[in-house]
């Protein structure tokens, strides 16, 4: 048995069989094919291409059903590449003339293609290198795999082990077979992690050495609560973990009872619990968990899951779908937050030296007004169907916010002139996710109807810690006194400078310890992954605001984040023991 520690990003435990998704191309052997075997080798190659195309067709059909046609379009692009004769032609030539095995010829050809893409002046090509890696792996699966090594043939509950995964890969897994995943790279709030939570896969990221250590077909336990993976576990561990799984099942059942109850503290203060979504389909689970609407729709996922730039209609259909599913509850559409770690394959910009500090989020939208206007038109049109709010991400100055609002006003005037219906009183908000915005919250409050504090980025920018980098994950501390001071300042400014609504929508708000702290800091609205809603509702119903405030006051006095986190954990456990029964209690020991 081998135990590896990574970063827990999506809760739950699964026991499954390893499927190593990444083939290290350098480990693919080269051998010479006898003259009489060349034709057979070419046939093997053709079959692998045909099988890969058929498998993509299936993935496309399933992904369209589960995530919608737009989100599944990336697979059409993959299919188009494999069907292009200029790709397979040189591979066939190599096998025929150099008499090498098909795997080797595939790796050489795709390596050359990836290199050409990487060097291309046009950044649209450079962003395609991940897709080429995807396709190389897919072809190698069909050439080298047999039995359980082929994803399409998997019979068992399967755990994907990979160096890294893209959101489209994660969303494309067959959810009847794949039960969890583990990656070597990534941080707690990287967007692969966010997709894992959205789709309900227990997951561990930043688990260095996992791909090298895991063997195809091996039994693995993924402990998404503790961030552990156990390769080839012994019987005693399997029995212990089966017990945990049972405890979790019972706990989830008990949460179902809470879902329909009001989210009110013991002393009668309502705490609004909303959901974060990346795909419209997720709205259903937000409602099922007892959420009161969507506090954050990450609209950039429209760009990330398709190869072409979304049209106004693409935007509109997605928002209208959410509004319909939410059935009268509010939808907050955040305008696209592209850049940093989220690049659309249709993006044609040159690569930036420091993308987290570059042309991302609202800066990106303001730099491409026609694209921005298209999105705003769609959001406004959807606002005629039900309650919709607009939120601008990563605003750093008042000028930037005014600029965005001016574009919105222009779009409203156009729609008026065209006689298109929309909500003229649509509420407009900003994300507070950089220290400068938090520090000028008073001025921003005068300009908007609401704030949403994004701790994922606020922590990253306040502490100068890359949220996607597993090497500095230990420094990523949402309880840092500096972060808490900023949050407190924002809550106060929101109340003082305009009495506007303020919520928190970072991943940390979904953790019960941190949610308790946020309530203590004055927050009354939390927007969290759907899976966390009923868990938080139980917390809310078990505490008084005064208790939360006392805890928050104390946490802010620690100069060590480790001590602050330990104190917070300890107090939360004492105040809400019912949220820690069974397995959860053991986790906290
Ligand atoms: C955040 O930064 O906290 C946030 C919610 O936005 P995202 O995770 O999409 O950057
Ligand atoms: Mg953010």
In this structure, what CATH number is given to the domain that contains residue 59? 1.10.274.10
Distant-in-sequence, close-in-space partners of 449: CB < 8 Å, separation ≥ 6: 389, 427, 428, 429, 500, 501
How far is 453 from 451, CA to CA, in rounded Å?
Answer: 6
> Residue 167: phi, psi to the nearest 5?
-60, -35
Instruction: For residue 43, give its domain range.
Output: 32-144
Whether residue 95 lies inside any domain: the answer is yes
What are the C-alpha distances in Å from 175 to residues 52, 69, 249, 279?
Answer: 19, 17, 19, 16
Flag whether pLDDT at 580 surpasses 70.
no
| Co-location of 358 and 433 in the same domain | yes
Instruction: Determine the average pLDDT of the residues in 395-416.
Output: 98
Which is nearest to 150 in space by CA: 131, 137, 133, 163? 137
| Co-location of 314 and 461 in the same domain | yes
From 23, 104, 191, 480, the catalytic residue: 191
> Residue 229: phi, psi to the nearest 5?
-125, 140
CA 99 – ligand 1 centroid, Å: 51
Which is nearest to 395 in space by CA: 476, 337, 355? 337
Whether residue 155 lies inside any domain: the answer is no
- By most ligand atoms within 8 Å of CB, the mutation choice from 190, 193, 454, 458 for ligand 1 is 454
Which is nearest to 188 in space by CA: 197, 199, 179? 197
The reported pLDDT for the residue numbered 20 is 82
Pairing mode, strands 13-20 and 427-432 = unpaired
Contact between 348 and 123 (Cβ < 8 Å): yes
| Co-location of 357 and 501 in the same domain | yes
**What ligand 1 atom has the least distance to the C-alpha of 456?**
3
| Co-location of 176 and 62 in the same domain | no
533-542 pLDDT per residue, tens: 999 999 999 9
Whether residue 252 lies inside any domain: the answer is no
Alpha helices by DSSP H, listed for 279-350, are 282-288, 301-304, 312-326
| Co-location of 267 and 219 in the same domain | no
The reported pLDDT for the residue numbered 149 is 42
Last residue of a domain, one of 201, 226, 247: 247
CA 497 – ligand 2 centroid, Å: 24
CA 117 – ligand 2 centroid, Å: 29
Pairing mode, strands 7-10 and 203-205 = antiparallel
For residue 465, the SS3 value is: coil
| Co-location of 405 and 301 in the same domain | yes
Last residue of a domain, one of 113, 144, 175: 144
| Co-location of 37 and 11 in the same domain | no
CA 461 – ligand 2 centroid, Å: 10
CA 548 – ligand 1 centroid, Å: 24
Half-sphere exposure (Cβ direction) of 155: Cα atoms closer than 13 Å: 4
The reported pLDDT for the residue numbered 256 is 86
* Residue 456 Cβ contacting ligand 1 at under 6 Å: yes
How far is C-alpha 171 from the chain's CA centre? 10
Selected residue with higher pLDDT from 430 and 108 = 430
SS (H, E, C) 266-307: CCCCECEEEEEECCCCHHHHHHHCCCCCEEEEECCHHHHCCC
From 207, 322, 504, 505, the catalytic residue: 505
The reported pLDDT for the residue numbered 148 is 36
* Residue 505 Cβ contacting ligand 1 at under 6 Å: yes
Flag whether pLDDT at 587 surpasses 50.
no
The reported pLDDT for the residue numbered 588 is 41
Confirm whether pTM is higher than 0.85: no
The reported pLDDT for the residue numbered 583 is 44
123-174 pLDDT per residue, tens: 777 777 778 888 888 888 788 764 334 455 565 789 999 888 876 667 767 7
Flag whether pLDDT at 589 surpasses 50.
no
Q: Which residue carries 């190698």 as its tokens?
A: 140
Return the residue whose CA atom lies nearest to atom 9 of ligand 1: 298
| Co-location of 206 and 267 in the same domain | no
Whether residue 255 lies inside any domain: the answer is no
> Residue 295: phi, psi to the nearest 5?
-90, -15
Identify the nearest ligand to the CA of 456 by its number.
Answer: 1
| Co-location of 37 and 14 in the same domain | no
Whether residue 253 lies inside any domain: the answer is no
- By most ligand atoms within 8 Å of CB, the mutation choice from 435, 457, 466, 490 for ligand 1 is 457
CA 431 – ligand 1 centroid, Å: 9
481-501 pLDDT per residue, tens: 999 999 999 999 999 987 899
CA 283 – ligand 1 centroid, Å: 18
Instruction: Determine the average pLDDT of the residues in 35-61.
Output: 90
The reported pLDDT for the residue numbered 62 is 81
CA torsion sign for 31, 34, 35, 37 is negative
| Co-location of 542 and 400 in the same domain | yes
* Residue 300 Cβ contacting ligand 1 at under 6 Å: no
Beta-carbon neighbour count of residue 357 at 10 Å?
Answer: 12
For the chain, what is the domain count?
3
Residue ranges with strand state E in 362-474 = 388-392, 427-432, 450-453
233-268 pLDDT per residue, tens: 999 999 999 999 998 888 888 888 899 999 999 999
In this structure, what CATH number is given to the domain that contains residue 180? 3.50.30.10
DSSP assignment, residue 338? -
Selected residue with higher pLDDT from 341 and 424 = 424
Helix axes 545-555, 512-520, angle to 10 degrees: 100
Instruction: State percent of the chain over pLDDT 70.
Output: 92
Whether residue 370 lies inside any domain: the answer is yes
Residue ranges with strand state E in 137-265 = 158-162, 178-183, 203-205, 219-223, 228-231
In this structure, what CATH number is given to the domain that contains residue 583? 3.20.20.60
| Co-location of 336 and 399 in the same domain | yes
The reported pLDDT for the residue numbered 453 is 98
* Residue 433 Cβ contacting ligand 1 at under 6 Å: yes
pLDDT band for position 71 (cuts 50, 70, 90): confident
Beta-carbon neighbour count of residue 413 at 10 Å?
Answer: 10
How far is 13 from 65, CA to CA, in rounded Å?
Answer: 26
Candidate ranges 59-63, 189-193, 228-232; pick with highest mean pLDDT: 228-232
User: For residue 432, what are its two tokens?
Assistant: 């507070």
Flag whether pLDDT at 80 surpasses 70.
yes
DSSP assignment, residue 11? -
Flag whether pLDDT at 305 surpasses 80.
no
**What ligand 1 atom has the least distance to the C-alpha of 506?**
3
Return the residue whose CA atom lies nearest to atom 4 of ligand 1: 454
| Co-location of 228 and 100 in the same domain | no
Q: Is-catalytic flag, 191?
A: yes
Instruction: Determine the average pLDDT of the residues in 488-515.
Output: 94
Contact between 18 and 161 (Cβ < 8 Å): yes
- By most ligand atoms within 8 Å of CB, the mutation choice from 338, 341, 431, 487 for ligand 1 is 431
The chain-wide mean pLDDT, for the chain, equals: 89
For residue 44, the SS3 value is: helix
The reported pLDDT for the residue numbered 257 is 86
Return the residue whose CA atom lies nearest to atom 6 of ligand 1: 454
**What ligand 1 atom has the least distance to the C-alpha of 453?**
3
* Residue 332 Cβ contacting ligand 1 at under 6 Å: no
Beta-carbon neighbour count of residue 525 at 10 Å?
Answer: 23
Identify the nearest ligand to the CA of 296 by its number.
Answer: 1
Whether residue 516 lies inside any domain: the answer is yes
Identify the nearest ligand to the CA of 454 by its number.
Answer: 1
Bridge partners of residue 504, in order along the sequence: 453, 526
Flag whether pLDDT at 423 surpasses 50.
yes
- What stretch of H or E contains 255? helix 235-259
Whether residue 299 lies inside any domain: the answer is yes
Selected residue with higher pLDDT from 517 and 351 = 517
351-388 pLDDT per residue, tens: 788 989 999 999 999 999 999 999 999 999 999 999 99
Q: Is-catalytic flag, 283?
A: no
DSSP assignment, residue 5? E
198-211 pLDDT per residue, tens: 888 899 999 999 98
Query: Cα 152–153–159 angle (5° rounding)?
Result: 80
Instruction: Determine the average pLDDT of the residues in 47-52.
Output: 92
Last residue of a domain, one of 195, 214, 247: 247
Region at 581 (left for phi over 0; alpha for psi -120 to 50; beta for the rest): beta
Instruction: Determine the average pLDDT of the residues in 513-522.
Output: 97
For residue 180, the SS3 value is: strand
Instruction: Determine the average pLDDT of the residues in 445-464.
Output: 97
Render the burial of 33-72: b for 16+ CB within 10 Å, e for the rest. Answer: beeeeeeebbebbeebbebbbebbeebbebbbebbbebbb
CA trace torsion 348, 350, 354, 356 (10° rounding): -10
pLDDT band for position 581 (cuts 50, 70, 90): low
User: For residue 205, what are its two tokens?
Assistant: 């990221």
209-225 pLDDT per residue, tens: 998 899 877 899 999 99
């Amino acid at each position: 048995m081998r135990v590896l520690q990574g970063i827990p990003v999506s809760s739950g435990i699964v026991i499954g069989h390893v499927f190593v998704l990444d083939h290290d191309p350098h480990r693919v052997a080269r051998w010479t094919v006898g003259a009489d075997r060349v034709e057979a080798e070419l046939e093997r190659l053709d079959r692998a291409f045909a099988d890969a195309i058929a498998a993509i067709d299936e993935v496309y059909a399933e992904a369209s059903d589960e995530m919608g046609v737009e989100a599944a379009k990336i697979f059409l692009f993959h299919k188009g590449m494999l069907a292009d004769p200029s790709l397979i032609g040189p591979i066939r030539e190599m096998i025929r003339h150099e008499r090498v095995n098909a795997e080797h010829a595939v790796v050489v050809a795709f390596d050359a293609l990836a290199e050409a893409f990487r060097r291309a002046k046009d950044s649209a090509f450079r962003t395609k290198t991940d897709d080429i890696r995807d396709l190389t792996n897919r072809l190698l699966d069909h050439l080298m795999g047999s039995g359980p090594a082929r994803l399409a043939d998997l019979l068992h509950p399967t755990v994907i082990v990979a160096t890294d995964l893209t959101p489209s890969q994660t969303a494309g897994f067959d959810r009847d077979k794949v039960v969890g995943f583990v990656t070597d790279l990534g941080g707690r709030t990287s967007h692969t992690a966010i997709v894992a939570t959205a789709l309900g896969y227990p997951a561990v990221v930043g688990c260095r050495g996992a791909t090298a250590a895991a063997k195809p077909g091996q039994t693995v336990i993924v402990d998404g609560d503790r961030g552990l993976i156990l390769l080839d576990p012994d019987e005693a561990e399997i029995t212990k973990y089966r017990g945990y799984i049972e405890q979790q099942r019972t706990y989830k059942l008990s949460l179902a009872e809470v879902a329909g109850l009001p989210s009110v503290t013991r002393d009668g203060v309502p705490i609004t619990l909303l959901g974060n979504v990346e795909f419209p389909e997720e709205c259903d689970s937000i409602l099922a968990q007892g959420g009161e609407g969507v506090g954050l729709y990450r609209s950039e996922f429209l760009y990330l899951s398709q190869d072409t730039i979304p049209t106004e209609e693409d935007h509109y259909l997605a928002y209208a779908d959410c509004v319909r599913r939410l059935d009268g509850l509010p939808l907050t559409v955040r305008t696209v937050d592209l850049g940093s770690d989220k690049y659309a394959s249709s993006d044609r910009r040159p690569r930036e030296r420091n993308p987290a500090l570059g042309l991302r989020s609202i800066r990106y939208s303001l730099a491409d007004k026609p694209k921005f206007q298209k999105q705003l038109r769609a959001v406004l049109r959807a606002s005629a169907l039900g309650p919709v709010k607009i939120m601008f991400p990563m605003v750093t100055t008042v000028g930037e916010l005014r600029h965005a609002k001016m574009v919105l006003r222009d779009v409203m005037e156009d729609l008026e002139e065209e006689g298109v219906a929309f909500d003229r009183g649509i509420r407009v908000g900003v994300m507070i996710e950089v220290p400068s915005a938090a520090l000028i919250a008073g001025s921003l409050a005068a300009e908007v109807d609401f704030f949403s504090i994004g701790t994922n980025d606020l922590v990253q920018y306040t502490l100068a810690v890359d949220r996607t980098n597993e090497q500095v994950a230990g420094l990523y501390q949402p309880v840092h006194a500096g972060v808490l001071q900023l949050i407190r300042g924002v809550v106060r400014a929101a109340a003082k400078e305009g009495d506007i609504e303020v919520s928190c929508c970072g991943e940390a708000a979904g953790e019960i310890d941190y949610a308790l702290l946020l309530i203590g800091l004055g927050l009354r609205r939390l927007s969290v992954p759907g899976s966390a809603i009923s868990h938080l509702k139980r917390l809310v119903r078990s505490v008084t605001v005064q208790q939360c405030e006392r805890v928050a006051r104390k946490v802010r006095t620690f100069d060590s984040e480790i001590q602050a986190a330990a104190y917070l954990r300890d107090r939360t456990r004492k105040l809400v023991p019912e949220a820690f029964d069974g397995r959860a209690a053991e986790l906290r020991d």
